[in-house]
Amino acid sequence: MGVTCLPTGQQSRVRQDCWHSILRQMNQTVHSDDALQSAPSGSGRTNDPARTMAEILQVATHEFADKGLSGARIDAIAAATRTSKRMIYYYFGSKDGLYLAVLEDAYRRMRAIESDLHLDDLPPVQALQRLVEFTYDHHRDNEDFIRLVMNENIQRGDYLRQSQSIQKLNTQAIESVRDVYDRGVAQGVFRPGLDPVDIHSAISAFTFFNVSNRHTFGLIFQDRHSQDKASTLKRVHVVELILRFVGHSVSA
């Protein structure tokens, strides 16, 4: 795959069709000489753009998560990846383009793992429990993802709004919840009348807060503070809260 479809400096973000093609290539192991492309001269890298872009995304994810869009520095990302600003702009068009690519990659990775949970193979209660446990574990172990979402809220969702791929991914996530919930209602184990978006929101609220507020919450309630992993809410309690919300134990 070539990289001529990537934007140049006059564009503010990566073109969606091109970026999605690049993501597909980044998910594959590159073995053939045909997959190797030449980077711009003087960039410091001469082949394997998919691997180079993956390294840039990895470093940029932490940079944006740690410092936000305004505080992140392309110079720092270039230095950490042994590339150059010119190469980063060649691949991603601009700082805004790289930030959007980081957001898309973060959501794509989460939804890709989520799609492998095989919820359709489980009874509704067990399927919902697995989904909650996965979301809890993902957020706990990926603080950069939480910080990216927090930073994007500071941006009032301006960049997420530009991404059709993120919106599509999240639509699929809601449909997954809907399938589990509808099966549960049909079997009489879930109470009717709930919106799958509300269920998704409740899962996100508990698991997101567990990470986003762990420092402030931990300092206020010192017995709950953890230096290593979020522990504001216990995993088993979050599962129980969601199952009680969806089940018949809560009055409509």
- Helix-, strand-, coil-residue percentages of the chain, each rounded to 5: 70, 0, 30
- From CA 67, how far away is CA 133, in angstroms rounded? 29
Average pLDDT in the chain: 82
Band of pLDDT at residue 185, cut at 50, 70 and 90: very high
Residue ranges of domains in the chain, CATH in brackets? 16-99 (1.10.10.60), 117-246 (1.10.357.10)
Give yes or no for a contact between 140 and 229, defined as CB atoms under 8 angstroms apart.
yes
Q: Are 56 and 88 in contact (CB under 8 A)?
A: yes
Per-residue pLDDT tens over the stretch 139-176 = 999 999 999 999 999 989 899 898 888 888 888 899 99
Question: Under a CB-based contact definition with an 8 Å cutoff, are residues 202 and 196 in contact?
Answer: no
Q: pLDDT tens digits, residue range 45-65?
A: 456 788 899 999 999 999 999
Handedness of CA 181, 192, 244, 209 (dihedral sign): positive
pLDDT in tens, 90-112: 999 999 999 999 999 999 999 99
